[in-house]
Structure 1
């Protein structure tokens, strides 16, 4: 059986993929960069399938200032536009292109590669993942796009981006979360680790709000998601909001001290205190600490 040429590229990273395609564009009708690899900035346009969608205003402003002083140090990787014969489409480096526009540059340095849609998307995802430029939702959407449009398996994706298959699977699971939680991920209010604890929760939006308001760690969020009230959702999960401020403060203090989710319920003159542990090691550690205090 003949090996799929695309598979030979898997796992070789951005530099390898660029190097493998280091050849001139041969078609006469296609645009050409100048001898020093520069093109007018208006001849370059972003890739509509670029997985990166958000560009921080502060970061763009800082990069634009740097470009005014030092120029664009790293060329933008482009390909001849599939739609317009006299234009280029960005493969990697849209942030630099946007900042260069802000800096008022007339030309930008480019590396031209004649690649198809599949390879262009591979390169875009690889560069952004390697630079940690994608938020978790953008990363997941990029993976899903490769699966839907080009038939990748999760194992193939792991090889392409240099990550484990479990990383790919866990990232894709984030797409199952409600839109309100995805927005919190994009804004940075929740980390991917926090969000993964919410995928199987009955009331993920309610738990996400609790995590943000109480400033819970990922470990504390996992413990909270495993508590019966958190799993059942509905009326029981709302009981925490009926507790007085002193009780909530005490719960948070004990949670921070133990590293496990602590819940306090008052009843008449007594009540109960519940500590949720995820592993026996956690329970052993709690017992050890209690013995030391005694």
Structure 2
């Protein structure tokens, strides 16, 4: 094995979780480890890898080698990968038998945090993989949605909207993962009152190439029982109320209506389709029901 010193290669996931030691330091010892002795991280959220991108990386590695070492931990039999799965896979494709690595001590919790957070920050996960990553952080680390959003620098509605995708039927999740459905289309499908209709409507969306707006209209009609909702008297909404309404729609991830009478009184209406969505909205409002 060849030992060498790693060059400073910038900050890693510890920029988010300061207690996780993934930063490559100038005094780190890098070892050329046999690739056959390195096993994948069991908490890796990415299920699929871009073959073309891996081939490109493999060609680069053939020509110039691996510049940034992977990070592993010693196990009973060989090593377990902490960070650098794409580099490891590409090195195998390039025909490499060894790969530069830094050996660190990690417990199970740290392994999971690094695997999830490295991918969230550096990889283009599918919407379902991203949702599963947030779900894992919440369940395995006992974090709240608010804590996850704070640590990742994302809004709570953003996290909540991704988590909602996990309630989709498996076949619909697959369509979303394959890019046949967009995030907007998937979120719209969740507004169907009859959840049994989600899969047929998802297939129709793909087959007919429906836009989000077209899908919204179809689902509104289905939820209304095939009857067009009665038209309300035309009421001119002020730009301020309209802007406020749009912001609330983005925040809650569902339809929101704001109405105000000429006397100044008004009301805000937040739509939900089931108890699960109601609980999500209550969580965003910081309302706890005992």
Coarse TM-score class (shorter-chain normalised):
0.5 to 0.7
**Pair 210,204 (structure 1): closer, same or farther in 2 beyond 3 Å:** same
Equivalent residue, structure 2, for 1:122: 113
In the alignment, the residues of structure 2 paired with residue 199 and residue 187 of structure 1 have an alpha-carbon distance, to the nearest angstrom, of 18
Q: 2:187 aligns with which of 178, 187, 196?
A: 196
Tell whether the 8 Å contact from 2:172 to 2:202 is kept in structure 1 after alignment: yes
Alpha-carbon distance between aligned partners in 2 of 1:152 and 1:144, rounded to the nearest angstrom: 9
Query: Which structure 2 segments of 5+ residues have no match?
Result: 1-10, 23-27, 228-254, 258-290
Match of 1:161 in 2: 152
What is the alpha-carbon root mean square deviation over aligned residues? Answer: 3.0
Q: Provide the residue aligned with 1:107 in structure 2.
A: 98
1:93 corresponding residue in structure 2:
84
Distance 1:182 1:97 in 2: 28
CA-CA distance at 1:52 after TM superposition: 1.0
* Alpha-carbon distance change, 93 to 232 in structure 1, aligned in 2, over 3 angstroms: farther
Deviations 1:158-192 (A, max 9, x none): 12322211111111100100111001011111122
Distance 1:206 1:197 in 2: 14
Residue in structure 2 matching 1:171, options 142, 152, 162: 162
CA change 1:17–1:173 in 2 (3 A) is closer
Contact 1:13 1:161 in 2 (8 A): no
Distance in 1 (alpha carbons) for counterparts of 2:155 and 2:50: 28
Picking from 42, 52, 64, the partner of 1:70 is 64
Which residue, out of 14, 17, 40, partners 1:46?
A: 40
- Distance in 1 of aligned mates of 2:215 and 2:165: 16
Equivalent position SS for 1:37: strand
Distance 1:54 1:98, change over 3 A: same
The CA deviation string for residues 101-131 of structure 1, in whole angstroms up to 9 with x for no partner, is: 1111121122333222222212212111122
1:228 and 2:221 aligned: yes
1:245-272: CA deviation from partner (whole Å, max 9, x where unpaired) = xxxxxxxxxxxxxxxxxxxxxxxxxxxx
Please tell me whether Structure 1 or Structure 2 has the larger radius of gyration of its CA atoms.
1
| TM-score normalised by the chain length of structure 1 | 0.64
Q: CA shift at 1:143, angstroms? A: 1.9
| Contact kept in structure 1, 2:145 and 2:160, CA below 8 Å | yes
Give the drift of 1:22: 4.6
* CA 1:207–1:116: 2 relative to 1, 3 Å: same
Task: Name the counterpart of 2:172.
Answer: 181
Q: Which has the higher helix share?
A: 1
TM-score (norm 2): 0.64
Task: Tell whether the 8 Å contact from 1:21 to 1:113 is kept in structure 2 after alignment.
Answer: no
Report how many aligned residue pairs link the two structures. 213
